[in-house]
Structure 1
């Protein structure tokens, strides 16, 4: 083992420099700076190089974290990047947006006594340094194959699959209904967590690799759309990687009032404005408004922090459980509080007040009860616990469900679960339609970007294997 490691007993944990709250409230730039070289090496040296690396075990990608931490501590950054990118298609993105406190860092073996290694910040530093030094190159195929794959969706799952399939030698075409590559990386995640030139930089590498993008291209039977059957005729295999975009609705009296909007609509409009697009003014702008965001996940955190930057008069986050039971990143909650967000814990909306447009949220105070079947504490209303919060913009951040793809695409033979997710054979990622595969949130439901990357890579490996086996089958050989 390197003599530079195991310094956690003498070196305290340190995060990269973070801009002051007053400064970062004024723009949508990322709030963290990169480590300096010496800081990155010092923080990486805190790794205990344990025999069973729980950081890797709890990383969806199985990243070889102790290895690239040791290489960083030794100053061998090009090798550290080579190890990092071997398992992760987009390490610079994961280093920025992964909830490390719930994954790798939250399971670091030194966490309890000495605070975890700052894995995410070092991961970001390694890849940013690699880009600066020209070490990041497209994964060009060793051989060109006479086969092509069509991918529906240019989000993280689709892009990860595209990179792996193109590296294997297949021609890859990615179809997306939006006008930019990235999916939620562009339109769902605010710039203060992920600046958009980071995504554009990866797009350029994929294009250099030979991946072809067909943007503003819907799938279906409408005007200008391509049917799923046509894609099947064009390509040897098709991968569905659309993600999930349908907002979960909220009921109760007044839920149809104006000024109650879906989180993704709100975030997309804000991101488009930051990208320089012309967007309508009004309902989806928080400037000078009293904002209430309903929900406790990372999307809710994105919404409250966006509203602060838009100049809201007040921003409150309403969540039915307490801080300890909140599904969102602890780090994001802390950043939001620093920026001026008020959290209203143990409170659930009962209805909405207003005449045509919302003026307030009628909420019920809750208390935690006994654990339910999942082990999570149930919630029950407090007696006489009704109260009202002033609001003229309410943002629903309650999660996402799949869009009804069989109906939208006129593909009745595409089987979905009772939740609307596409059903696949778990080991091959193949759907009920031969030659059509699916991966990412459209299969597992709304989840993390890092899981979408994992699914995209795994699906690509299965598609590559299927195409190669089909080419070698007796019927194909006889036909030749």
Structure 2
């Protein structure tokens, strides 16, 4: 190990190179030149790992990935074994390697970060799994024995898919129900191509179907099928719908045309890039081409919106956020990418009113200053009197986060308990709701969060569902008849 690892003292950190700014502003291709992070550079970067006794990268990873282990295997050129170790704890390592905020999680807590810069964990993770796909090491989730018991999963996003794969490997008949026409949830319709190429998600859909997971798309629970029917049909049900209800601000002028929620804007762009007919995009209502754009918000969704607007040909793009750069909730890498691509940031500014007659023509905002921390530890913000200013805009996008929909009403199941925030209430050890056999996880339980946390919840829920079904069957499950 001493010869191959601990190379951080002589090798500098090297992230995958980015494409030229002018080139990446003109299309929706992934911005990193992943092909340059190859079988030579990836093992070199992996060899920088210090193999520390208490790996903070694993501790701060929601999936507790065995990161030092697969870094060591990569450094030794044992890529298939590295893939097996990575896939043992992560259902979608190639997706996490692309979109996880590594600067806040694994890489941000790397032991060698102080003084030597962290190991490029995300890039190596992506490289390992992309190599596994190229060489045919990624196999459909086929069980050794088929069980008679079935599980219904509501939602084909990361939590639902992670649970589906884990349950399928144990032999369950898995049925996934989703109201949209493709598998992937926000990974398909919310995250732009320049961060996550849709082919990366769609190949997982194909792989899961080959493994026997059955998908029922364009199927909205509560409309096309009831939760009660699913409970009768399956031995257990897992709710992983995510959160899609856009948060709003009560500003004068909000009724003007040209003011849209972030998800509607991103979905229209992603559908257009998938060659779907999108009337609102074709009409220009959800297309930023030739427009002055203002995005209100400071999270990763806001960064997705501003960078999408740049690629659509907006004449000016401004991000308005009421705190400063250091207090933004989104990834600093995404902020840096947006700055490189020409996005202007109006820090410490909050919206007062949308201006215009019939259609929005501007946003009036007030300068803010940071005060003392509140009960959550974040600094409070307060307006600076007499500091109002106006940003001209033809398209205003609200990227203020997401809240859960009213699932008890949507599912026509008043017995489905919710918290005071509207998320589903579960017993956190079992992940089961008050309805026997109905489990929940992902954003619909924890609130809007990261894809990696949804994967964690899906995998944990699968374990709890398996334990519940086995206990209900007296410890022995029936094998399906051939």
Q: Quick check: TM above 0.5?
A: yes
* Equivalent position of 1:413 in the other structure: 415
Q: Which residue does 2:6 correspond to in 1?
A: 6
Q: Give per-residue Cα distances to partners, 1:346-400, cap 9 Å, x unaligned.
A: 0010111011111110101011111111111111111211100001100000000
8 Å CA contact 1:2–1:70 kept in 2: the answer is no
CA distance in structure 2 between the partners assigned to 1:23 and 1:9 by the alignment: 35
Aligned-partner Cα distance in 2 for 1:195–1:269 = 16
Paired residues for 1:200-219 under 5 Å: 200-219=202-221
Asked whether the equivalents of residues 440 and 455 of structure 1 are also in contact (C-alpha less than 8 Å), the reply is yes
Give the equivalent residue in structure 2 for 1:333. 335
Once residues 110 and 125 of structure 2 are traced to their aligned partners in structure 1, the CA distance between those partners, rounded to angstroms, is: 15
Match of 2:249 in 1: 250
Q: Secondary structure at the match of 2:364?
A: strand
Partner in structure 1 of residue 124 of structure 2: 122
**Offset, 1:2:** 4.4
Equivalent in the alignment of 1:43: 45
> Deviations along 1:51-76, whole A, 9 cap, x unmatched?
11000000000000001011111111
CA distance in 2, matches of 1:408, 1:68: 44
Q: Give 1:418 deviation, angstroms.
A: 1.0
Partner Cα distance (1:326, 1:215) in 2 = 36
Question: In structure 1, what is the Cα distance between the partners aligned to 2:129 and 2:211?
Answer: 18
Structure 2 SS opposite 1:385? coil
- Determine the C-alpha separation between the residues in 1 that align with 2:71 and 2:134: 19
Pick which of 19-28 and 464-473 moved more. Answer: 464-473
Alignment of 1:280-319 (within 5 A): 280=279, 281=282, 282-319=284-321
SS of corresponding position for 2:469: helix
The equivalent of 1:262 in structure 2 is 261
Q: 2:182 aligned with 1:180, yes or no?
A: yes
Secondary structure (helix, strand or coil) at the match of 1:411 reads coil
Q: Residue 276 of structure 1 aligns with which residue?
A: 275
Residue in structure 2 matched with residue 98 of structure 1 by the alignment: 100
Which residue is equivalent to 2:23?
Answer: 23
Q: Secondary structure at the match of 2:308?
A: helix
**C-alpha offsets along residues 217-250 of structure 1, whole Å, 9 cap, x if unaligned?**
0111x4xx10110111110001100000000011
Q: Which residue of 1 aligns with 2:374?
A: 372
Q: In the alignment, what sits opposite 1:233? A: 232
The alpha carbon displacement at 1:146 in A equals 1.2
SS at match of 1:348: strand
| Whole-Å separation in 1 of the counterparts to 2:49 and 2:55 | 10
Give the aligned partner of residue 427 of structure 2.
425
**Once structures 1 and 2 are overlaid, which stretch shifts more, 296-305 or 383-392?**
383-392
Q: Deviations over 1:266-286 (max 9, x none)?
A: 000000000000111221100
CA shift, 1:33, in A, is 2.0
> CA–CA distance in 1 between the matches of 2:51 and 2:437?
43
The runs of 5 or more residues in structure 1 that have no matched partner are none
Match of residue 440, structure 2, among 438, 441, 444: 438
Distance in 1 of aligned mates of 2:375 and 2:83: 43
User: 8 Å contact 1:259–1:358 — kept in the other structure?
Assistant: yes
Q: Which runs of 5+ in 2 are unaligned?
A: none
Deviations 1:69-105 (A, max 9, x none): 1111111101100100000000000000000001000
The answer on whether the counterparts of 1:290 and 1:392 sit within 8 Å (CA) in structure 2 is: yes
Partner SS state of residue 257, structure 2: coil
TM-score (norm 2): 0.97
**After TM superposition, where is structure 1 displaced by more than 3 Å over at least 4 residues in a row?**
none
**SS in structure 1 opposite 2:388?**
strand
Aligned to 2:344: 342
Q: How many Å apart are 1:473 and its aligned residue?
A: 6.5
Deviations 1:443-462, CA, capped at 9 Å, x for gaps: 00000000000000000000
Alignment RMSD: 1.1
Query: Alignment length, in residue pairs?
Result: 472
Look up the SS of the partner of 1:37 in the other structure. coil
Deviation at 1:432, TM superposition (A): 1.3
Between the aligned partners of 2:240 and 2:442, the Cα distance in structure 1 is 6
- 1:139 deviation in Å? 2.7
Equivalent-residue separation in structure 2 for 1:400 and 1:286 (angstroms): 22
